[in-house]
Amino acid sequence: MSKISDQDLISIFEQRAEYLSQAELETWTRLSIAEQQVLDKLKGPGAKLLSGPRGSGKSTLLRRAYYELCREKSALPIYVNYARALALEPLFQTRANALELFRQWVFAKLLLGIEDTNREYPLHLDTATKALIRKADGYVRMMEAGGTPESAPFAIGPSEMLELLRDISSGIGVSRAVLLLDDAAHAFTFRQQQEFFEIFRELRSRNVAAKAAIYPGITSFSPNFQVGHEAEVLEAWLQPTSDSFLSTMRDIAHHRIPAELLSKLGPNGKEYIDLIALASFGLPRGFLNMLSSVIDEAQKGSTSRLRKTVLDTISDHSESVESVFHNLGLRLPRFSNYVATGEKFQTAAQSAIRNFNTSKKIDSKATVIAISRPLSNELEKILKMLEYAGLVRKQSDLSKGEKGQYHRYSVHYGSLIASTSLSLGRAYKITDIVDALEVQSAHALIKVKAETLLGKGYESQCVLAIPPCTKCGTPRQIENQRFCMHCGSELQTASVYSELLKAAIDNLPLPRAKIEAIKRHTAIRTVQDLIADDEQSLRRPGSYIGPIWSKRIKTVAEEFLSV
């Protein structure tokens, strides 16, 4: 049997679907019935918003839709990835025409998407369109490298883009175009998000259907954009409580990972795969990350320590997911107080679940918090931000008649395992965790008031963290205030992108052991150091970081600056 090469391993365990080839994507991914229904809607008419937390499979669905439309030739598909949007954010601190430069960048990326489709699905582009695409390519490269042009080398509006898409569609004999906009609105700052959704709304027509991937909870829509009316919301997030969940995740493992590697999991491999699947909380990327880490460790030694390795990997993954939420305080600094309160909520919810589960049998363990209605605006915002990170998931509401009504939220299974909130005692088996999570009673939930978890008056802690005047220290009255009310100085807002570049690598959602290894064996200390590491310090002999983790660390750093 031939040895699996490092490059093969990197491809097998690649996190992001946009880096996979068409063959890899279609061979390695398995869609549930619900995901297939979502895929059909992405390929069809009408504007759609594809909502789900990081790693939920949004890119996989968009890329699958793109390749299938290219093959079927039933519509003109254009796939665009807007992950580099945050690189444009400093413009909004320095240029009065930043909004127009941003709009032209959005359209320039669409032009480059047309060129990409031209390679898959010959479009017979005319000379003028090819020239426009060349200009768009130079503009995008300059903008994403931090350049600050006086103006774009072209001026395109929604009507011109719609006309171009109609002409290209007509030229290949189809009646409609489908725009698949990945890493879209959630990648932008507040002003960018609102402007993007104005463009999204303006691109809607009988012949053009735009689909955009968003995150729950943190997307800012424009005042004219009414969710549900302007676009249907589709959910990209596997439900761990569904009957087909474990079979779907097992299929992903067996189609993605060679049997030679899966055999490293030993005789209890099926139990480990099921546990890791449940600990992922329905997020395929987290599932593959954990599985690759366990297999990586299993190749180094015997299977006798595999149980501990699996549980340690789940704990590392839980910390990584929690750090995604914590980092919202860096990415959305005005909401840092909400993030701090959200972390208190997470800890209190785990404690409440642990206390409930202490005396319960395995088939009566709880993973759901039911919070009495109504929710304050502050708590509703916090819960949406927790959903963005994938730490909680909203379930159907619960009505107990005169006893009250409740909003139900499942808490991340991996964090419940890592925090021993299932209360399984000391001598538990792996199958005990699987059974506790897979076979749950509908009555096993904790009914609680928000004040019980967060204390009375928690709302007063949830105020926007707006920086004061740097000259005299006077607090700002409103978020968009331009001049100090006391000294009259112009108020400056720090660039989020610049601050993220300067952030220590400790902020990255990586296992602590990997961060310590980077510090011990390289000179990398900040996110910018990691991004600029062209010499591939992580891959040098003696760094104790293998090819899979080297690629993953770089991807995590890029994601930290994008979504």
Q: What is the pLDDT along the chain (563 residues), one digit of tens a residue?
A: 445 555 555 455 555 556 666 777 777 777 888 899 999 999 999 999 999 988 888 999 999 999 999 999 999 999 999 988 878 878 877 788 989 999 999 999 999 999 999 998 889 899 999 999 999 999 999 998 888 888 899 999 999 999 999 999 999 999 999 999 998 755 556 778 888 888 999 998 999 999 999 888 777 777 777 777 788 999 999 999 998 999 999 999 998 888 888 999 999 999 999 999 999 999 998 999 999 889 988 887 766 789 999 999 999 999 999 998 998 888 778 788 999 999 999 999 999 999 999 989 998 999 999 999 999 999 999 999 999 899 999 999 988 777 789 999 999 999 999 999 999 988 899 999 999 999 777 778 899 999 999 999 999 998 877 767 767 767 666 656 667 776 777 666 666 667 777 888 888 888 888 888 888 888 888 888 887 775 566 766 655 677 677 777 877 887 777 65
Three-state SS sequence of 29-60: CCCCHHHHHHHHHHHCCCCEEEECCCCCCHHH
- What's the rounded Cα separation, in Å, for the pair 356 and 548? 40
- What's the rounded Cα separation, in Å, for the pair 261 and 26? 20
> Are 295 and 261 in contact, with CB atoms under 8 Å apart?
yes
In the prediction, which pLDDT does 484 show?
Answer: 73
In the prediction, which pLDDT does 335 show?
Answer: 84
Angle between helix axes 547-560 and 284-298 (nearest 10 degrees) is 150
**CA torsion sign, 224 to 226 to 232 to 237?**
positive
Helix, strand, coil content of the chain in percent (nearest 5): 55, 10, 35
Within its chain, how far is the Cα of 23 from the centroid? 24
Structure tokens belonging to residue 95: 């240029």
* CA-closest candidate to residue 265, choices 314, 318, 302: 302
Q: What is the amino acid identity at position 271?
A: E
**CA torsion sign, 425 to 428 to 434 to 438?**
negative
* CA-closest candidate to residue 379, choices 450, 324, 301: 450
Helix (H, G, I), strand (E, B) or coil at 379: helix
Cα separations (Å) of 407 from 74, 440, 478?
42, 18, 32
Give the count of alpha carbons within 13 A of 470, CB side only: 6
Give the count of alpha carbons within 13 A of 290, CB side only: 33
Structure tokens belonging to residue 150: 């006086």
In the prediction, which pLDDT does 303 show?
Answer: 66
> Are 292 and 549 in contact, with CB atoms under 8 Å apart?
no
* DSSP letter, residue 364: G
Structure tokens belonging to residue 195: 């402007």
Helix (H, G, I), strand (E, B) or coil at 443: coil
Structure tokens belonging to residue 463: 């105020």
| Strand (E) or helix (H) holding 287 | helix 284-298
Contacts of 173 (CB under 8 A, 6+ apart): none
Helix (H, G, I), strand (E, B) or coil at 153: coil
Q: How many CB atoms lie within 10 A of CB 27?
A: 12
> Are 325 and 392 in contact, with CB atoms under 8 Å apart?
no
Is residue 467 reached through a cis peptide bond, with omega within 30 degrees of 0 on the bond before it?
A: no
Go through 310-320 and write b for each residue having 16 or more CB atoms within 10 A of its CB, e for each that does not: bbbbbbbbbbb
| Strand (E) or helix (H) holding 262 | helix 259-262
In the prediction, which pLDDT does 70 show?
Answer: 93
> Are 366 and 360 in contact, with CB atoms under 8 Å apart?
yes
In the prediction, which pLDDT does 4 show?
Answer: 56
Q: How, if at all, do strands 405-411 and 392-394 pair?
A: antiparallel
- What's the rounded Cα separation, in Å, for the pair 100 and 34? 39
| Strand (E) or helix (H) holding 406 | strand 405-411
Within its chain, how far is the Cα of 410 from the centroid? 18
